[in-house]
Structure 1
């Protein structure tokens, strides 16, 4: 991986986005990035000579898929620093994405997997997994936000990754094939439509239901019998005011096989800190739940200790 090329690409993309923000009369960097991606793909239609020139320089760099992804990620970081982004518009950082990739590789046996991501957001998690997995991933992301779906799809077009993105409210009934893996950096908040929510076992009768509870229940409907669900969910998932409803549903429909807490300093606001929860549909031989506090994702020895502990748990429980 050429980090100098990544930096050059980032600066070229950013300069084009800044020009496009003025032309589009927007202060939203995501909107400008979508337009930049369209300009890059359809270069013959571009009248702005500087944008066209920068995109030719981008082409000349001949970036790898991972170099493209890193360049776009720097744009996401720029957006987080310079603009107010709602929590659900922020991307899943690499430090967490690569832990999820490790878990996906360790907990699945087939060389080819069907993956369904609920709330695919900017698409950064999808790109990280598809580009870096040792397996062949048939990946579909579902996202309700039209800005994010356009952003993720445009980035996939530029990088050339084979990822499908569908704009749908994942809490509403969908016709989808069952997947080997369900993955989600769950959006946090209340779901406003009580008529839809009341169809679910986790539905609250006294207030709006947590959207992340509804998405967890919905996700299991699309999971193969021997599949796994990897969720990034609030630290207080099992202790929050509506947690009894979730735990009752879990008791009947799924096994919680792993809980991996993450360092709070990964999250801009500690109130939005998350933990990795891994579920399987009910299985005959229920393993002892793997519980591990990951205190530092930058220290190599901490990651090594985590991996060794996880592999020992797998061996002890015949996973």
Structure 2
């Protein structure tokens, strides 16, 4: 990866986005969508056209593009921050999810469904680094995020599809061998829809992340894996008895991996990784692990070795 090229690409992209933003009087993210369209189809604005020619001449790889867009989002967040549930998943977690996918999926080719795909950064991280050939679909309710993720994927020439929809509501989706979600934290506003679920709260709103976990397993193959980033208090919150009752009936907890709190800007938004499977007759010995520093290569290697040993011991 060439960081000098990424720095040049960032400067060119930023100038174009800010130029479009000033011309159209729009927000940074809509201007980025317009810039991506101009990159693909051309622009009558001389500066934008010239900068895009320079961008194309850099010959960025898919990963270099991903990093460039990521830095652009960081820049945008200084003046126009996205809400917490829309912010991209940190790279260190993306690499960890990629490792889990590669270890758990037996087939070299696999289908992956991401619930709440956001800006598409987690999807691009996985596709750029996975050793598997993945048929990847992201479902996202927010139309701005869908337009952003789709326009960036087109530029990166990534084989990925996105669909807009409220994932809590039933969708016409085929079963996938892996389900992934950096689950949004909060309450689901439609109580009538929520009451269709086993995890529904009898009073007030239900946690959206509980509903999405239950819904996600409906799209999972029998031997597939669901990898969720969920709140640390998932199994101890006020609505956790409802979730645990559902887990007892419908799912097995394959692994829980606690993540360093410093990965999250707000300690109240800290998450852990939970890996689930549909309930089977075979008992599952849960892999439980605490990670304290994802920048420490020695600690990560110990984690990798422990996970592989657990996997071999339990014939996962």
TM range (shorter): over 0.9
* 1:163 alignment counterpart: 160
Deviates more, 1:285-294 or 1:173-182: 285-294
Matched, 1:85 2:82: yes
* 1:38 alignment counterpart: 37
Matched, 1:182 2:214: no
* 1:225 alignment counterpart: 222
Q: Provide the aligned length of Structure 1 versus Structure 2.
A: 316
Deviates more, 1:17-26 or 1:97-106: 17-26
| Aligned positions of 1:194-213 closer than 5 A | 194-213=191-210
- Tell me how far apart the structure 2 counterparts of residues 80 and 283 of structure 1 sit (CA, whole Å): 44
Give, in angstroms, the shift of residue 81 of structure 1. 3.1
SS in structure 1 opposite 2:144? helix
* 1:137 alignment counterpart: 134
| Aligned positions of 1:1-319 closer than 5 A | 1-26=1-26, 28-43=27-42, 46-319=43-316
Q: What TM-score do you get using the length of structure 2 for normalisation? A: 0.98
Q: Which runs of 5+ in 2 are unaligned?
A: none
SS in structure 1 opposite 2:78? helix
- Tell me how far apart the structure 2 counterparts of residues 317 and 77 of structure 1 sit (CA, whole Å): 42
Q: Which runs of 5+ in 1 are unaligned?
A: none
- Tell me how far apart the structure 2 counterparts of residues 241 and 29 of structure 1 sit (CA, whole Å): 38
SS in structure 2 opposite 1:82? coil
SS in structure 2 opposite 1:52? helix
- Tell me how far apart the structure 2 counterparts of residues 290 and 42 of structure 1 sit (CA, whole Å): 49
CA RMSD across the alignment: 0.9
- Tell me how far apart the structure 1 counterparts of residues 64 and 237 of structure 2 sit (CA, whole Å): 40
Answer yes or no: is the 8 Å Cα contact 2:253–2:284 preserved in 1: no
Q: What TM-score do you get using the length of structure 1 for normalisation? A: 0.97
Give, in angstroms, the shift of residue 224 of structure 1. 0.2
- Tell me how far apart the structure 2 counterparts of residues 24 and 232 of structure 1 sit (CA, whole Å): 37
- Large movers: runs of 4+ above 6 Å: none
Give, in angstroms, the shift of residue 265 of structure 1. 0.8
Give, in angstroms, the shift of residue 29 of structure 1. 2.1
SS in structure 2 opposite 1:180? strand
